[in-house]
Homo-oligomer: A and B are copies of this chain.
């Protein structure tokens, strides 16, 4: 559970921390980045990917956060749920949106397993 604090980081890692702080307009980086910094290559690749993937596109950034929470709740990742819930709130997630998100996540997890247990064959019209 070692975390690399800024003062202990290599110049390579500090440059990435600086970039994260500048682009996110914050004065420190989250524990996620301080942990990944143990492997600078993974730190860099992950930060590059996050910027590319979470940027506004055909989907707006809030919807992307909701999808992130849906996956994280399905996987039971407490850290990711906590950090992306905070991010989603910052991007406008209301209590009502959160409630609807969780309802869909719960239902999908339920029906995913009903489908498995009932061994439902894929309908022809869905096969292409």
Interface residues of chain A, those whose CB is within 8 Å of chain B, are 1, 3, 30-32, 35-36, 38-39, 41-42, 45-46, 49-50, 52-54, 57-59, 63-64, 66-83, 85-86, 94-123, 125-128
> What are 23 of the A-B contact pairs (CB < 8 Å)?
A1-B120, A1-B121, A31-B120, A32-B120, A39-B96, A39-B100, A42-B103, A45-B49, A49-B107, A53-B107, A57-B96, A59-B97, A67-B70, A68-B108, A70-B70, A70-B74, A73-B113, A74-B75, A75-B113, A76-B113, A82-B123, A82-B127, A107-B110
Say whether B69 contacts A117, CB under 8 Å.
yes
Q: How far is the CA of A59 from the CA of B101 in the complex (A)?
A: 8
Is there an interface contact between A76 and B75, defined as CB atoms closer than 8 Å?
yes
Q: Which residue of B lies closest to A107 (CB)?
A: B53
